[in-house]
Homo-oligomer: A and B are copies of this chain.
Amino acid sequence: MGKRYFLMSEERDWTTHREAKANKLSAISNLIDGKFARTTDAKTVLEGLIAPGDKVVLEGDNQKQATFLSKMLASVDPAKVHYLHMIMSSISRPEHLDIFEDGIASKMDFSFAGPQSTRVSQMIADGTLQVGDIHTYLELYARLYVDLIPNVVLVAADKVDHEGNLYTGYNTEETPVIVESAAFHDGIVIVQANEVVDKLPRVDIPADWVDVIIPADEPYQLEPLFTRDPQNITELQILMAMMAIRGIYEKHNVQSVNHGVGFNTAAIELLLPTYGERLGLKGKIVPNWEVNPTPTLIPAIESGWIQSIHSFGGEVGMEKYIAARPDVFFVGKDGTMRSNRAFGQMAGQYALDMFVGSTLQIDQYGNSSTVTKGRLSGFGGAPNMGSNPTGRRHSTPAWQSLRPDNDPLGKGQKLVVQMVETFGSNKRPVFVDSLDAVEVRKEAKLQNVPIMIYSEDTTHIVTEEGIAYLYKTDSMAERQAAIEAIAGVTPVGLRSDPAVVKDLRARGIVAFPEDLGVNRNEATRSLLAARNMEDLVKWSKGLYNPPDKFRSWS
C-alpha cells in the first residue's frame, strides 16, 4: 500500500507563510531602511504588511498600550485592510473598537475590556463586533501557539538600537510572548519605539525576532493601574483586612500571594507593618509575592516583611524605588526592572498559596463576576490566579491546610479569597440571587455564563460581617448558609437563620470578628502604616514618585 501514500503531497507548497511575509515586506521595501520605517509612513507600512483577514495581535494590556500603532491601524484604508481578526489582551482605547465600526476589523478574541466594557456590549448587540471568545490572559497567550497563530503583531518598546534590538524596560509585560509567536511562524513583528538609541540599557528582545520598527510620535500610553491612595481606605476595609490577616493569612500560614487591584487588599498591605507586626507575624507570613509594584506595599517592604516580588508589569512612579530594591524586585544587570506578564500569570497560577480578589457580584452559591448588565468587562488574569490548578503537585503548608480529611487520595488546594463589602460603591447589593452575567450571556450570545471565579474554586469570602470558610462546607446547602451568614442585609443575607449561623460559627465554617479575636473598635485609620500618598513617598525615602493625579499635597 505504501507507494500511493508516499506520493500524495508532491505538489504541496510548505512555505506559504514565509512567501506571504516576503511579498509583503518586498512591497514596502522602498519605505524601509534596515528595519526602520519613518513615523510618517506608518499608515502606508501597515497597509502594506497587513492583508485582509489577517490575524493581528495588538499589544494593549491593562497598563501598557501600543498607542501609536493602534491609532495608525485605525487610520488605514478599509478598502485595503479589512476583515481583520484582532487578538488583544485588553480593549482599552476608543480606536480599539473604532476599527470595527470602520470596517477594518471584524472579529475579536480578547481578555479584558474594562474601560470599554459598555461599548463592547453595545457593539456585540449591534452585530458590529463579532467576539471569538473572552479569555484569561494566559489562555489567550496559549492560543497564539495553537489555533490563533498571528500573521502580524503590533507591539511597543521603550528603546531600540540601530540593529533593531528592543529594550522594554519596566513594562516588558506581554511583549515577549506575543513577539515569539509571530517571529517563529513567519508572522510579521512590527514595533513602535519611544526612542532610538546607540546603546540599549539591555536587550529584552533580540533584533532577529523583529521585522519593522517605527519610531512613535509620542511615548506609548502607560496607566498607573495599581496605585491606590491610602486616604480613600475606609474603616470597614480596615476591619475586613484585620479579619483576613488573622483568619486567613495567619491561620493558613500563607507564604506566597497575589493581591488583586483594590482598596481591600491595599488595606491589608498597609496593616502588615502595624497590626501584623503586633501579632508577631513578621517573618512568618507572605514573604513571596506575584504582584505589580503596588505603592501600598512600600511600608511592608521597608519594614522587612517581603523577600521577593515578581511582577506582570511595572507601575508608573515606582521606577526609582524598584531600582533601589533589587533584592526584592526582579531587576536586570542594567539596574532596571524586568516584568513578564506570561511568566507572572504562570507563577500566579501554579506557585502561589493564595489569590485575594474582589468582585462586583457574588451569587447565592458563591459564583462571582465583574460582568454586570450592559458591561462586558472580560476576565483579565483573575480566573487564572483565582482557580485551583488541578495539575499542581507540590505541597506547601497553606495549600495542604485545605486538604480534605476524609479522602486518602486527597490533596491540598489553592486559597482563593473574595473580599467584598456587602453593598458596592453604587449602593447595590454585591450578594445576589442570580448574577447579571446570566442575562449578559443571552444578550451577547456567549457559550457559557461569563463567571469570573466559580464557587467551586472559591475557598473563602470576607465581608465586613465576617469570613465564610467555603472550603469546609460539605454540601451546596451548607455553602449557601455560610454565604448568607456574612452577606449582611442584602436579600441573600436576610435569609440567614440565626440558629444555623450559630452552628456554622461553632464548627468554624463562619467566623465573625470576635471569633477571630479582632476588636472592631481598633479598626481605625490610625492603624494604617501610611494614610496618604505623602506617607508612601516618605516610607520610600523619596524614591517613589507618584503620578501627578495622585499628588494632592504639593
- Chain A: residues with CB nearer than 8 A to chain B? 1-2, 5-6, 8-9, 12-18, 109, 132-136, 138-143, 145-147, 149, 165, 177, 180, 183-186, 202-204, 206-209, 255-256, 273-274, 287-288, 290, 299, 302-304, 308, 310, 324-328, 330-334, 337-338, 340, 342-344, 346-347, 349-352, 365, 367, 379, 383-395, 400, 403, 408-412, 438, 447-451, 454, 456-457, 526, 529-531, 535, 538-539
Contact = CB atoms under 8 A, between A and B. Distances in A.
Given A308-B146, A383-B391, A384-B391, A8 B303 contact: yes
Given A109-B394, A146-B288, 6 more contacts: A6-B302, A9-B304, A14-B326, A139-B351, A367-B409, A412-B447
Given A330-B184, A343-B177, A393 B351 contact: no
Given A2-B538, A6-B539, A330 B185 contact: yes
A520 to B, nearest CB: 20
A447 B398 CA distance: 13
Contacts of A206: 165, 202-204, 206
A343 B340 contact: no
A145 B344 contact: yes
Contact of A146 (B132, B256, B438): B256
A206 B14 CA distance: 30
20 contacts: A5-B302, A5-B539, A8-B302, A9-B303, A9-B304, A14-B325, A18-B326, A135-B393, A138-B346, A142-B343, A180-B338, A180-B340, A186-B326, A186-B331, A204-B206, A208-B333, A383-B392, A386-B391, A410-B448, A412-B448
Contacts of A133: 393-395
B14 A390 contact: no
Nearest 3 A-B pairs (CB), nearest first? A203-B206, A142-B351, A133-B394
Contacts of A393: 133-136, 139, 379, 383, 448, 450
Contact of A394 (B134, B288, B350): B134
A386 B391 CA distance: 7
A88 to B, nearest CB: 14
Contacts of A308: 146-147, 149, 185
Contact of A448 (B139, B147, B395): B395
Nearest to A336: B184
A545 to B, nearest CB: 17
Contacts of A387: 389-391
A365 B290 CA distance: 36
Contacts of A385: 391
A299 B7 CA distance: 11
Contact of A454 (B5, B325, B327, B390): B390
Given A15-B326, A139-B350, A326-B14, A332 B184 contact: yes
Given A333-B183, A390-B388, A14 B327 contact: yes
B256 A147 contact: yes
Contacts of A165: 206
Contacts of A304: 8-9, 12
Contacts of A394: 109, 132-135, 139-140, 143
A13 B367 CA distance: 45
A346 B142 contact: yes
A2 B346 contact: no
A52 to B, nearest CB: 20
A332 B139 contact: no
Contacts of A338: 180, 184
Contacts of A395: 133, 447-448
A347 B148 CA distance: 11
Residue from the set A6, A140, A147, A302 with the largest chain B CB neighbour count within 10 Å: A147
A98 to B, nearest CB: 25
Nearest to A540: B6
Contacts of A389: 139, 387, 389-391
A91 to B, nearest CB: 15
Nearest to A258: B146
A297 to B, nearest CB: 13
Contacts of A1: 274, 526
A212 to B, nearest CB: 13
B145 A183 contact: no
A282 to B, nearest CB: 11
A352 B145 CA distance: 10
A456 B456 CA distance: 13
B8 A350 contact: no
A12 to B, nearest CB: 7
Contact of A203 (B5, B207, B410): B207
Contacts of A134: 393-394
Given A136-B392, A387-B389, A394-B135, A448 B349 contact: no
